Structure formats: C-alpha cells, structure tokens
C-alpha cells in the first residue's frame, strides 16, 4: 500500500502490534552510551585529585589533634581508674523508685460543685473594707437617761425651728389629752396604778397642763395666791391635787404653811398621796350627831381643778376630816364640766359644807368658797349614795388645736 507522505531518502518501518505494546509497557532505564561513561570517568579522576590536595593541607592539623588526643586519653585513663575503684567497693542496692498515684475524688452532685466553686471564689476575693461612720452626736455614756425628764430643756428648745416647735407642741398636746381623758374617766386607784407603772405619765401630763394654762385668760392658782397672801402668817393650807406645787412656791415666801399632795412626789414640795383615799394629816370623822371631828390642824383646803376622778366626792370627805371647825374649802372647776351647778352645790353641802361665795364671772372657770359645818356620821352605804352623784361633773375634754 503506497504511503501518503513519502519523502525521498526516508523510510518508516511499519510498527507491529506487539512492538507498540512492548514500547508502551517498558519502563526500564536505557544503558548509558559511550559518551556518558567517559564523562563519569573524568569526574572520578577530578574527585581523587581534590582528595589528595585536601590530605596535604590537613597534615599540620593532625599533629595538633594527636597532642590533644593524648591529653584526652590521660583524662580517660583517670576516669577509668576511678570507675575501677568504685567497682571494687561493695555496691549498695538502690531503693526502688515509687510513684504515688492519687486516687480519684468521689463524684459530687453538680449543684454542690457549683456551690463549692462559688465559695472558693468568694473566699479568694479580697475582703471589703467596712465603712466607719463617725457620729457627731455626744457619746451614749454622756447622754442623760430617758427616764430623767421628758420635758424640753431651754437649750434644746432654743435649737428647734419654728416648725419643730409646733410639731413638738402638737405631740405634747396629744399626750396631754389622752392622759387627761383617762384620769377623768377612771377612779383614783386606777390613776395611782397608771402613775406608778410609768412615772413619766405624771410629768407628761403636767407639761401639757402648763402648756394648756398659757391659753387661758386667767389661772385659778394665781387667783388663790393673790387671795391667800392676805391671810395671817402661819396659816396652814392643804393643796389637794397640787400638780407641780405652784401654790406652795407662791405662798411659802409670804410666811404661810402650804402642804402639797398629789399622786407622785417631786422629792421637794409634793407629798405622795391619793386624796380620795387618805390624806396623811390629822383629823377625824364626827362621833356625835352634830360633831366637827377632832385633832385638825388645817385652816384652808384648796382643790384647784383637782376633782378629776370619778370618786371625787371622797376627796371632799377627806377635806372635811382634816379641816378645823369653820375652816375654808376653796374649789375651782372648769365651767363646762357642770351638768347642774345647783346640784353640785348640794352634793358638796351634803358632805358637811356651807356655800359662802361663788364667782362665775370667768368664762372658763367657776370658783366656790365653802365653810366647814357640823354633820352627823355617815355609814358606808350613805357614802356610796353620795359617790353615785359624782356625775354632776362631766369629764373635761380639751379640744384638738
């Protein structure tokens, strides 16, 4: 079959199927030709020449190395000698190395682990410095005890503002009204028990009373001081329900003898006594049908706004007992308390007195002057009937301001 691309001088052998397969599958290296072997020989010669040159250049260094190797050998021999000596000694058995193996921790609930972590974190945190408050107030040791006095001192009153003074007055007024109402609606024995359980009640009441007096047009105690100043010296006056003993303070400098009685003693002027039960002064009940009693020393008895308790007629009974024959009984009461003035006069007269004077010109108070007269002795039943008539005096209730 003629070739398509025949070129003169070229001949291409037809490949066989087996030949093509062998060429494709053969992967063996071909042997080097004569050119490559000649190149390798020349490279080996050159390498030998280079090695000879290197040997010649390193001869002086070898001498130096020999000296150093001698020294090294001496040191080596010493070391070998020492090792031989050590071998001659009996060797002690070395203690076996032991490793401590930590045991695993017991499992804990997840909540407990969280708590322990938080606790350890809080313990590791630095502690906060506590704030120190410096008080500008006086030390507690220097402060007066609360039970000494509830009333305001002049220095503390001066430091208060107008609003604080007003609030303080309102508070004291409220306390006064509460105590006042309890006293007017109970008998004297309940009042004594209240005062003994809390002595500050007595001081608070009279502090409020003094504040209340400032709003009155006149004070009955001042009227009695003006009246009794004209009495002869050494006149004995018994002030029943004296309060803070204003009558004694005003009359003692005038030469009169004033004996002051109230539920609580102040340690100076006031003698503690329940005037509705027993006044600690000499005197007696009548023994005959028209008797005056005996052993009395009192010239005048004053009851200035003191007929407060529901058993107030017993106070007038004690006034009759301690008064001299024809002695005076001075009574001042709030005008609004009377349900019937005439009935009040009858109750007082039934105890053994006769009305001498009455002054009702003041819009706030009514003043009475009675004289002691003879009477018959009463049984306890008769006294009980008189006491039941005590409702002629109503409780005094002060309005809120």
Q: How far apart are CA 3 and CA 8, in angstroms?
A: 12
- The reported pLDDT for the residue numbered 149 is 42
Residue 189's alpha-carbon distances to 180, 348, 388, in angstroms, are 15, 22, 17
Q: How far apart are CA 105 and CA 346, in angstroms?
A: 101
Residue 127's alpha-carbon distances to 119, 121, 330, in angstroms, are 13, 12, 76
Number of neighbours of residue 401 by Cβ within 10 angstroms: 9
- The tokens of 112 are what? 């407990």
Helix (H) or strand (E) holding 83: helix 59-88
Residue 361's alpha-carbon distances to 304, 348, 366, in angstroms, are 17, 21, 7
Q: What is the CA radius of gyration of the chain?
A: 65
Tokens 């070395």 belong to 94
- The reported pLDDT for the residue numbered 210 is 83
- The reported pLDDT for the residue numbered 86 is 53
Nearby residues of 79 by Cβ (< 8 Å), 6 or more positions away: none
Number of neighbours of residue 349 by Cβ within 10 angstroms: 14
Q: With CA atoms as reference, report the closest residue to 185 among 334, 337, 310, 304.
A: 310
Per-residue pLDDT of the chain (401 residues; tens, 9 = 90+): 555 555 555 555 555 544 444 444 455 555 555 455 566 667 767 777 777 777 776 655 555 555 555 544 545 455 555 555 555 555 555 555 555 555 555 555 555 556 666 666 566 555 555 554 544 444 443 333 444 444 445 455 667 788 877 777 677 667 778 888 888 999 999 999 998 888 888 888 888 888 788 888 889 999 999 999 999 999 999 999 999 999 999 999 999 999 999 999 988 999 999 999 999 999 999 988 889 999 999 999 999 999 999 999 999 999 999 999 999 999 999 999 999 999 999 999 999 999 999 999 988 999 999 999 999 999 999 999 999 999 999 998 765 55
Q: With CA atoms as reference, report the closest residue to 304 among 383, 364, 235.
A: 364
Task: Confirm whether pTM is higher than 0.75.
Answer: no
CA 345 to chain centre: 56
CA angle 366, 372, 376 (to 5 degrees): 125
- The reported pLDDT for the residue numbered 360 is 93
Residue 323's alpha-carbon distances to 162, 229, 283, in angstroms, are 49, 19, 7
- The reported pLDDT for the residue numbered 223 is 95
Residue 3's alpha-carbon distances to 17, 20, 320, in angstroms, are 19, 20, 179
Is residue 336 a contact partner of residue 363, using CB atoms and an 8 Å limit?
no
């Amino acid at each position: 079959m003629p070739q398509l691309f025949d070129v003169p001088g070229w001949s291409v052998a037809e490949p066989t199927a087996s030949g093509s397969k062998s060429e494709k599958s053969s992967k063996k290296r071909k042997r080097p030709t004569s050119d490559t072997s000649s190149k390798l020989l020349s490279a080996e010669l050159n390498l030998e020449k280079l090695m000879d040159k290197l040997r010649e250049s390193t001869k002086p260094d070898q001498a130096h190395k020999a000296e150093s190797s001698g020294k090294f050998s001496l040191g080596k021999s010493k070391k070998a000698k020492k090792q031989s000596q050590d071998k001659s000694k009996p060797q002690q058995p070395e203690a076996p190395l032991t490793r401590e193996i930590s045991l695993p921790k017991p499992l804990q609930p997840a909540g407990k682990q969280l708590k322990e972590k938080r606790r350890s974190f809080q313990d590791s945190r630095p502690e906060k410095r506590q704030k120190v408050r410096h008080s500008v107030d006086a030390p507690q040791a220097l402060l007066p005890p609360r039970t000494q006095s509830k009333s305001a001192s002049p220095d503390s009153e001066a430091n208060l503002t107008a609003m604080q003074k007003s609030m303080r007055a309102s508070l004291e007024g409220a306390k006064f009204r509460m105590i006042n109402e309890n006293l007017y609606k109970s008998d004297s024995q309940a009042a004594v028990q209240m005062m003994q359980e809390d002595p500050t009640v007595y001081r608070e009441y009279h502090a409020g009373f003094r504040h209340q007096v400032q709003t009155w047009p006149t004070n009955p105690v001042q009227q009695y001081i003006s009246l009794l100043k004209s009495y002869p010296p050494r006149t004995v006056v018994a002030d029943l329900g004296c309060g803070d003993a204003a009558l004694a303070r005003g009359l003692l400098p005038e030469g009169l003898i004033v004996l002051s009685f109230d539920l609580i003693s102040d340690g100076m002027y006031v003698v503690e006594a329940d005037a509705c039960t027993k006044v600690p002064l000499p005197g007696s009940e009548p023994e005959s049908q028209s008797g005056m009693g005996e052993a009395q020393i009192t010239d005048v008895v004053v009851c200035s706004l003191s007929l407060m308790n529901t058993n107030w007629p017993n106070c007038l009974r004690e006034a009759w007992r301690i008064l001299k024959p024809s002695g005076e009984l001075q009574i001042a009461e709030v005008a609004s308390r009377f349900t019937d003035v005439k009935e009040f006069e009858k109750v007082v007269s039934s105890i053994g007195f006769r009305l001498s004077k009455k002054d009702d010109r003041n819009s706030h108070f009514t003043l009475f002057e009675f004289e002691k007269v003879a009477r018959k002795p009463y049984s306890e039943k008769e006294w009980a009937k008189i006491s039941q008539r005590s409702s002629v005096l109503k409780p005094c209730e002060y309005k809120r301001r």
